[in-house]
Amino acid sequence: MSADDLARAGRLLAVASRPVVFTGAGMSAESAVPTFRDAQTGLWRRYDPARLATPAAFHADPALVWGWYESRRHGVRRAEPNPGHRAVAAIRSRLPDTVVVTQNVDDLHERGGVPDPVRLHGSLFAPRCSACAHPAPAPGDAGEPPAGPLDPPACARCAAPVRPGVVWFGEALPAAALDAAVAAASRCDLLLTVGTSALVHPAAEIPLVAARLGAPVVQVNPDRTPLDAVCAVNLRGRAGEVLPELVRAAWPADAAG
């Protein structure tokens, strides 16, 4: 990341009034949240995550799928927001019309100070009924995480098994979340994309919506991505390092104070 690129991105953020911050797995990985395919320990090493994260897998063996997701949720609970999450919260605090859109299913944005991110892929902490979609409370975290199958709770409304509140392979994104993300990208005056590979569709379309409508796109990522060509600035580096620097570049007087 060059000083010139950082300064340019800082100027874009400083004059923005309604930015969108779009985050992906790279941001959570910096908080030691295992990636989807890396979250395999003990018994879970025997299973392909892609084969557990489907409606068919849950229908065939609800206890197996619920146990795996509960193990993931326990792991997320042990993670802490990193400086990148805090920087996103600082942007939203400075610019209240900021919309945070995330592909992550953890709660690190909320714990980092953003109370209302738009969740494109759902949440590990918002289970719902597999039949009637009635919301269900997330289980408590007493004891050790499950090391194997665990029967899911029953829905309080219809007694069907409760499922994880995430988007599985073969499922559409939640319509309300996708509509909110597209609307925010359509009216934003800056889109900051952080830690996403830009390969998972339709979520990867969100930065392109902003770019097509004339908003500058600033990318924070240690690696090249398909978004490089449409970005006004590419900041190479980790979110936890780059985002605090970007906030300081945008509002140096705040940093000095």
Residues labelled catalytic: 121
Whole-angstrom Cα distance, residue 235 to residue 45? 35
Closest-CA residue to 190 (of 221, 211, 162, 160): 211
Question: Is 102 annotated as contributing to ligand binding?
Answer: no
Contact 118, 182 (CB under 8 A): no
Q: Is the sign of the CA dihedral 40, 43, 46, 48 positive or negative? A: negative
Check the annotation: does 226 bind a ligand. Answer: no
Please check if 129 is assigned to a binding site: yes
In the chain, which ranges are E strands? 20-23, 99-102, 118-119, 122-129, 162-166, 191-194, 217-220, 233-235
Is 47 among the annotated ligand-binding positions?
no
Q: Is 158 annotated as a binding residue?
A: yes
- Tell whether residue 195 is among the known ligand binding residues: yes
Annotated ligand binding at 82? The verdict is no
234 has binding-site annotation: no
Q: What angle do CA 24, 135, 180 make, to 5 degrees?
A: 45
Binding positions are: 69, 72, 103-106, 129, 132, 155, 158, 195-197, 221-223, 239
Binding positions for Zn(2+) are: 129, 132, 155, 158
Binding positions for NAD(+) are: 103-106, 195-197, 221-223, 239
